Amino acid sequence: MSDFEGAARHLANLYTKSFGGKPNGRFRLSSKQVRELLGRKRIYPDDIEKLTRAAFEIGFVVIDMDSFFVVLSANAFVNYRRVSGEALASVMTAG
């Protein structure tokens, strides 16, 4: 298991834990916490990509928000409404 796969598993475990006044679910981490999680002094773009891919493989989405990272379950997106071709065309012609 790579450092990134291990880190992704830790993120998945955090998702199930109670903290911050919530029983479980989405959360955010600082860049410093992600560096600690990966055991690195600096995080490079390819590190973020590897962590993001490892998390996605086990059903989680990691979003880099520049000063912090957000972790969500990929299942959270399943029931989002889908854009129809007609809806997309209407906003493209309106603008």
Helices 45-57, 31-38: inter-axial angle, 10-degree rounding = 80
d(CA 20, CA 85): 40
For residue 17, what are its two tokens?
A: 């834990």
- The architecture of the domain spanning 3-77 is 2-Layer Sandwich (3.30)
Residue with tokens 């993120």: 11
| Amino acid 94: pLDDT | 82
Q: Quote the mean pLDDT of the chain.
A: 95
**Average pLDDT of the segment spanning 2-24:** 95
What are the domain boundaries of the chain?
3-77
4-8, 31-35, 55-59, 77-81: which has the minimum mean pLDDT? Answer: 77-81
pLDDT confidence bin for 79, thresholds 50/70/90: confident
Confidence (pTM): 0.86
**Residue 88: is its pLDDT beyond 70?**
yes
